[in-house]
Each structure stands twice: as C-alpha cells, then as structure tokens.
C-alpha cells in the first residue's frame, strides 16, 4: 500500500448551470450556511474548501471507510458559472482531478451544462452527475440526509416513476453528448459509464451517495496518478489576484503539488516577464470554511498540496489568473523562470496574419476559446487576457475584411472609451461579440460570417457579367453599321447593354450599345425574348450576318467567379450557356479562366 502521508488531496471542481445548486451542494457537504450569506445567492468568487476524510467518514456514518480509502480528504472548488474550471490549469491540462456536474433534474440541461461537459470531455476529467433538486418533484416525501436507495423506497410509485422519467431525460442528453450513463446504482463499471446520482442539496438526500462515488473515483485517480505528491517544491495555479487591506495585492492559489513555505522564493506567470518574489505570508482559511468568507486569515508557516492558500508577497499586482506558480531555490531559479515562461507561452497561440481578435478573462478561458475557434477553423490574429480596451477597438477598426474586423470577448468588459469609439464613424466597421458561454460566441460569429458571405455573394451577383447567347433573326437588319441594329432572340442566359459580344468561333465583334423591346429602351433581355440590339463596332455583312449565333463575351475574371463560386446559383440555361461559352474559349486556350 502506498504511504498515506505523501498522498495529496484530490481536487474536485463543482460545475454546472447557474442556480442548479452548486453552492448549496457544497454547503450541504460542509454543513455550514454559506449560501444564505451570499449576495443574491450567486457565487461571486472562487473559493476552495477542504473537507477532511474524517468529516466525510462522519457524514457517511461508517468508520470502516477510513481504512478503505487512502484519500486524505477532498478539496472542493466552487465555481462561479463554469469559468473557474478553465482558470484551473496545470501544465496545459485541467487542474481539477475530478468534477461534479450539477443538473437541476426539473430543468434539465442548460447552456452551461453542455459547456461543462465539453470541457470535461476535452480534459478527460472523471466526473459524476448530480441530478439535483429531487425534493422539488411533485409529491416527493423528504427524508433528511438519507442515502438515495433508502429515500427512494419511501416514495410513492408515482413519484418513483416521475423521477425515473426525469433521469432518463438526463441520461438521454448525456448520450447525445457522447457519454454512456446510468443511474449510479445501476452502473457496474464507472470507467465505462457515468453515474447519475439523484440528490437534493437542500434536504441532503443522496448526498452520502455523492460522497461515496466521489471517494471511489478519487481512490482510482490516486492509484493511477501517483506522480503528484505532497512532498517536493510547490506547484500551483493562481485563481485570483486581490487587493487586501493592509496586505496590498495578494494571490489566491491552489497548490496542487508539493509544499510551499513562508520565505520561499516563488516564480509566478504574468503577461510580461515572470514575477520572482519571496512569500511574505501564507494565509490559510480554516478547514470547513472558504477563502472568500475569511475576513481574518490565519497565518501559517507551511502548506502542503492540495490546498487553497492566499499568498502575500511584494510585486503580485501583475500576476495573472490561471498562471502557474512554482517554488524555486537559488540553484533552480533560472530553470524555473524559463519553465514558467514556456507554460505561459504555450497559451499564446501561433497567430495568423489575418483573423479575429480574442479577449478573455483568464489564461485558461483564453486557451479554451482559442481551442474551440481553431477547431472551427476560424483564423485568429491576436488572443489576449484582459478587457476590451480603446487600443483593441482602434486596432481592429483598421482591418478591412469584415470577417476579421471582429472582436470576440469572453467574460470581459468593454471599456467606456472603446464603447464611445465604436459608436463613432471610425469604429463603425468593428463587430464585437461578447458572451460568457463559449459555444454561443462561436455560433454568433459563424452566423455573422454566413451573413457577410451572403452579402458579398449578392454583390458579386449584381456586378458580374452573366453568360448569354443569342441569334440574329433573318430579315431583321434595321441598320448596317455605326451602330449595327439587328433583331435578335435570346437563346440562353441574359444579354445586357454595355457588354462585349463575340461569334461562335470566338472572334470579338463589338459592344451592345442599346436594347429595345416594342420601342422601349431596356437594359437587359432574358432567355426567350426577341429584341432590337444596337452593336457598336460591327458591320452587318462583314463581321456579322443574319442567322449568326453570338455570345456575351464574359471577361475571364468574371467567368472564373461564375464557374467556381456561383455556378450552383445560376439557372440551368445560364449554366448551359456558360459551359458552351467556356468550351469555345478553351479551344484556343485550355487554361482560360482556370
Ligand atoms: P448555483 O448557482 O449553482 O451555485 O446554485 P445555488 O446553490 O446558489 O442554488 C440556487 C437556488 O436553488 C437557491 O435558492 C437554492 O436554495 C436552490 N436549491 C439548490 N439546491 C436545491 C435542492 O436540492 N432543492 C431545492 N428545493 N432547492 C435547491
Ligand atoms: Mg453558486
């Protein structure tokens, strides 16, 4: 058996749609009443809570569990929306070892539920689904803190089948997202199928089951990931940089490997050169409480992974949320600075010379956003952490291509001066998309691209010279020359004034000066029409004669667009006329308009 002392606490991220019960669930697990103290009952900041094994064992009411699981406890991270998960990076991967996705069983899947699943899939993070708020099911008979099987038995048959139906919907949605899943007590192999645990964060029903399944997942996680340990130099991720009274800028850090001591030299990622500083104080919340609710922090000398800890040190102002923190000593300092630099650079993507600009609130969310946009083959010119500044909008306004004079903002604000700029003439070509759901941003951008392309196509459509074929009718020569005026029938496509015409052998004959139908001047004539045509530059009897077949002499550039870009949108007689025309042109030059 592995030495228990050196095993670090697994990190569990709680995800899911807003109001589905993440904070309440953690609250229940902790047995405190944090939710009621929250402004608007919405999690504003990231907090981490360590729940020691003893507390879990007590909740489960079975002391034998203490020996069955090596896990020292669980470190829960409550996330505002789903964003923290992407903030929580470790070496390009996810920081969380495990996750809980909370779904309101009465509401079903919502945008952030889907997004959570996508992120977990991408990082291959093991997780469970909590089908929360079962107590809201009509006729539910609550049984405080009871395991699911026991409380389920106490429900009426009707309530049981109501719950089962809701669970089937959840399982069906998971299936659509590419996950095999079942009610957790029907899952035989948690490596093959996800467990869906019916629970209520308010009554506590099913919560023992959640803890049991998590411990099982944690145990297996530890068995296969023993490279993380509680010894060695500390490695962590910055969650948030905050001003604290009397301390200046502090960094809330999740330490996921090794130890960190007061007085240690640490290297922390920033947008510029990595910060090198000495830890002035380590501040830890008490167990069973959260960083954000501690007004007075407890100073400690040393912390051991995994923990959430606040660091006070000089020069933290520029530290980045999502950036790595590493403990260094004299010998390793240079190497570690390089390492931190390269970890930050990993996120800076290879930017294209043309493309959109992306701004996001943290390194992790920027990385996720870039990943998703690249997957959709959207070129990215610049990707940065931070709000949308005046400089950004000015920069984007110089991009001419409407597809790329675009700013994509994820969970960021638009500065007042940038708003002003966008409303002015100079900024009118800039398109800004902001949202806090990644796939919404992708959808919005794609829809915009589609619209722009349709617009561009329409423009091409209007200006492009179209194919046309016509015949000079016998007995309809009204004037010999300067210009020649003849009666014609349009046999295919369309003829327009001011376009050049040629014979079937490819010889150019002149330009259509005017068209008349029943004495009226017209600008174009469609297939089937008989009209009078004035042709400048041709003489009847010399270049042209009665019963000649002529074509609109489509310029090469236009022919290319017709054949390669808008062919499908041409009518069938236009298509046929174009093909005949191209055949003539390519007799002389096989590469014409290719
Ligand atoms: P979060 O945004 O996901 O953190 O959601 P909260 O934990 O803040 O919960 C949102 C609301 O749903 C609060 O009013 C909770 O009291 C309520 N709620 C959460 N879980 C349950 C549950 O299991 N049953 C019932 N009836 N209400 C719940
Ligand atoms: Mg919350």
pLDDT of residue 336: 95
Q: How many angstroms is it from 21 CA to the middle of ligand 1?
A: 4
Total structural domains in the chain? 4
Identify whether 556 is part of a domain: yes
Ligand 1 pocket residue status of 41, Cβ below 6 Å: yes
Q: Are residues 215 and 67 in the same domain?
A: yes
Q: How far is the CA of 289 from the centre of ligand 2 (A)?
A: 15
Q: Are residues 203 and 271 in the same domain?
A: no
As a whole number of angstroms, the distance between CA 222 and CA 224 comes to: 5
Contact indicator for 271, 339 with CB cutoff of 8 Å: no
- What is the pLDDT, as a whole number, of residue 238? 87
Same structural domain for residues 29 and 142?
Answer: yes
Please identify, among 290, 323, 345, the residue that sits at the C-terminal boundary of a domain.
Answer: 345
Backbone angles phi, psi at 545, to 5 degrees: -145, 170
- Same domain for 240 and 205: no
Q: Is the CB of 33 under 6 A from ligand 1?
A: no
Q: Has residue 593 been placed in a domain?
A: no
| Residue nearest ligand 1's atom 2 by CA | 19
Q: Within a domain: residue 305?
A: yes
- 253 with 275: CB under 8 angstroms? no
Q: Which of 424, 452, 480 is the last residue of a domain?
A: 452
Instruction: Strands of 93-169 (E only): list them.
Output: 93-94, 98-104, 127-132
Provide the sign of the torsion angle of the four alpha carbons 242, 247, 251, 256, taken in this order.
Answer: negative
Ligand 2 centroid to residue 134 C-alpha, Å: 18
Q: What is the three-class DSSP state of 21?
A: coil
Model pLDDT, residue 81: 45
> What span, in angstroms and rounded, lies between the C-alpha atoms of 293 and 175?
39
Give pLDDT tens digits for 201-241. Answer: 999 999 999 999 998 888 887 776 655 566 789 999 888 88
Q: Is 132 in the pocket of ligand 1 (CB under 6 A)?
A: yes
Measure the CA–CA gap between 441 and 376, rounded to whole angstroms.
12
- Clarify whether residues 16 and 63 are in a common domain: yes
List the CATH number of the domain containing 302. Answer: 2.40.30.10
pLDDT of residue 178: 93
Tell me, yes or no, whether 192 and 263 share the same domain. no
Distance 173 CA to ligand 1 centre (A): 21
Report CA(485)–ligand 1 centroid distance (Å): 83
In a domain, 409, yes or no: yes
Kind and range of the H or E element at 259?
A: strand 259-261
Q: How far apart are CA 82 and CA 25, in angstroms?
A: 15
Please give the DSSP secondary-structure letter assigned to residue 505: T
The finding on whether 431 has its CB within 6 A of some atom of ligand 1 is no
Do 119 and 137 belong together in one domain? yes
Q: Which helix (H) or strand (E) holds 219?
A: helix 207-224
Assess whether 89 and 209 both reside in one domain: yes
Residue 47 is assigned to a structural domain of this protein: yes
Do residues 324 and 210 both lie within one domain? no
Q: Are 566 and 478 within 8 A, CB to CB?
A: no
Report the largest interatomic distance among the alpha carbons of the chain, rounded to a whole angstrom. Answer: 111
> How far is the centre of ligand 2, averaged over its atoms, from the C-alpha of 136 (Å)?
19
* Cα–Cα distance, 396 to 429 (Å, whole number): 9
Q: Looking at ligand 1, which residue's alpha carbon is closest to its atom 24?
A: 133
Burial of 107 (C-beta count, 10 Å sphere; 0-12/13-18/19+):
middle
Whole-angstrom distance, CA of residue 469 vs CA of residue 408: 48
Question: Considering the domain boundaries, does residue 328 fall inside one?
Answer: yes
Helix (H) or strand (E) holding 317: none
Q: What pLDDT is attached to residue 44?
A: 35
Asked if residue 473 and residue 336 are part of one domain, the reply reads no
The parent domain of residue 249 ranges over 235-345
Question: For residue 331, what are the CA distances in angstroms to 265, 327, 328, 340, 558?
Answer: 11, 12, 8, 16, 68
CA-to-CA distance for 42 and 44, rounded, in angstroms?
Answer: 6
Ligand 1: which of 14, 16, 24 to mutate, most ligand atoms within 8 Å of CB?
24
Please tell me whether residues 479 and 565 are part of one structural domain: yes
For residue 555, which phi and psi values (nearest 5 degrees)?
A: -65, 155
Within a domain: 351: no
Task: Compute, in angstroms, the gap from residue 34 CA to the centroid of ligand 1.
Answer: 12
pTM beyond 0.85, yes or no: no
- Per-residue pLDDT, 34: 44
Ranges in the chain, pLDDT < 50: 1-4, 32-46, 81-82, 287-291, 294
The whole-angstrom separation of Cα 353 and Cα 379 is 8
Beta bridge partners, 198, equal 131
Cβ of 116 below 6 Å from ligand 1: no
**Residue 133: CB within 6 Å of ligand 1?**
yes
Q: CATH number for the domain including 166?
A: 3.40.50.300
113 lines ligand 1 (CB under 6 A): no
Question: Do the domain assignments include residue 291?
Answer: yes
Per the listing, tokens 């260094």 go with 328
Give the number of whichever ligand sits closest to the CA of residue 134. 1
Using the 8-state DSSP alphabet, how is residue 286 labeled?
P
Q: Which ligand is nearest to the CA of 290?
A: 2
Taking each continuous run of H as one helix and of E as one strand, the counts in the chain are 16, 31
Distance CA 118, CA 97 (A): 16
| Radius of gyration in angstroms for the set of CA atoms belonging to the chain, rounded to a whole number | 35
Q: Please tell me whether residues 175 and 285 are part of one structural domain.
A: no
Q: Is 35 in the pocket of ligand 1 (CB under 6 A)?
A: yes
State whether the beta carbon of 44 lies less than 6 angstroms from ligand 1: no
Show which of 203, 226, 249 is a domain's final residue.
Answer: 226
Ligand 1 centroid distance, CA of 588 (Å): 76
> And the tokens for 428?
């009118």
The answer to whether the bond into 514 is cis (omega within 30° of 0) is no
Q: Which atom of ligand 1 is nearest to the CA of 201?
A: 23
């Amino acid at each position: 058996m592995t030495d228990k002392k050196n095993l670090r606490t697994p990190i569990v991220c709680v995800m899911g749609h807003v109001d589905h019960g993440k904070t309440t669930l953690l609250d229940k697990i902790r047995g405190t009443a944090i939710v009621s103290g929250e402004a608007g009952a919405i999690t504003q900041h990231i907090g981490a809570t360590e729940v020691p094994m003893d507390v879990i064992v007590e909740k489960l009411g079975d002391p034998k569990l203490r020996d069955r699981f090596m896990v020292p406890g669980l470190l829960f991270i409550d996330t505002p929306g789903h964003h923290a998960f992407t903030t929580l990076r470790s070496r390009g991967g996810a920081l969380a070892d495990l996750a809980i996705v909370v779904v309101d069983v009465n509401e079903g899947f919502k945008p952030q539920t889907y997004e959570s699943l996508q992120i977990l899939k991408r990082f291959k993070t093991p997780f469970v689904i909590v089908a929360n708020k079962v107590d809201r099911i009509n006729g539910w008979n609550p049984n405080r803190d009871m395991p699911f099987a026991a409380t389920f038995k106490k429900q009426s048959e009707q309530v049981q089948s109501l719950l089962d139906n809701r669970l089937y919907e959840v399982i069906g949605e998971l299936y659509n997202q590419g996950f095999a899943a079942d009610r957790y007590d029907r899952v035989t192999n948690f490596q093959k199928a996800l467990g869906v645990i019916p629970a209520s964060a308010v009554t506590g029903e099913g919560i023992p089951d959640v803890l049991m399944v998590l411990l099982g997942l944690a145990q297996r996680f530890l068995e296969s990931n023993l490279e993380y340990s509680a010894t060695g130099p500390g490695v962590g991720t910055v969650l948030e940089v905050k001003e604290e009274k009397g301390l200046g800028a502090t960094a809330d850090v999740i330490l996921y490997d090794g130890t960190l001591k007061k007085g240690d030299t640490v290297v922390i990622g920033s947008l510029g050169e990595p910060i090198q500083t000495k830890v002035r104080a380590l501040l830890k919340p008490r167990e069973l409480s959260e960083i954000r609710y501690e007004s007075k922090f407890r100073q400690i000398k040393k912390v051991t992974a995994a923990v959430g800890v606040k660091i006070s040190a000089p020069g933290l102002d520029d530290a980045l949320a999502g950036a790595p923190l590493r403990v260094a000593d004299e010998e390793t300092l240079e190497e570690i600075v390089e390492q931190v630099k390269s970890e930050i650079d990993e996120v800076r993507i290879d930017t294209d010379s043309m493309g959109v600009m992306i701004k996001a609130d943290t390194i992790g969310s920027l990385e996720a956003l870039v990943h998703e946009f690249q997957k959709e083959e959207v070129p990215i010119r610049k990707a940065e952490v931070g709000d949308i500044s005046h400089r950004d909008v000015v920069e984007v306004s110089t991009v001419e291509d409407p597809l790329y004079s675009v700013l994509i903002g994820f969970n960021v604000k638009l500065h007042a001066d940038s708003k002003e700029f966008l409303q002015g003439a100079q900024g009118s070509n800039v398109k800004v998309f902001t949202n806090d759901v990644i796939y919404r941003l992708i959808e919005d951008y794609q829809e915009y691209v589609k619209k722009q392309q349709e617009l561009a196509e329409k423009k091409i459509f209007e200006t492009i010279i179209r194919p046309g074929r016509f015949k000079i009718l016998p007995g309809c020569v009204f004037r010999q020359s300067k210009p020649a005026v003849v009666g014609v029938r349009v046999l295919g496509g369309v003829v327009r004034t001011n376009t050049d015409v040629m014979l079937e052998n490819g010889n150019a004959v002149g330009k259509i000066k005017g068209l008349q139908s029943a004495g009226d001047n017209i600008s174009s004539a469609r297939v089937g029409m008989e009209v009078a045509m004035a042709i400048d530059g041709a003489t009847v009897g010399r270049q042209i004669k009665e019963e000649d077949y002529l074509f609109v002499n489509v310029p090469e550039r236009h022919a290319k667009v017709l054949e390669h870009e808008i062919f499908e949108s041409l009518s069938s007689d236009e298509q046929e006329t174009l093909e005949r025309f191209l055949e003539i042109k390519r007799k002389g030059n096989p590469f014409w308009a290719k």
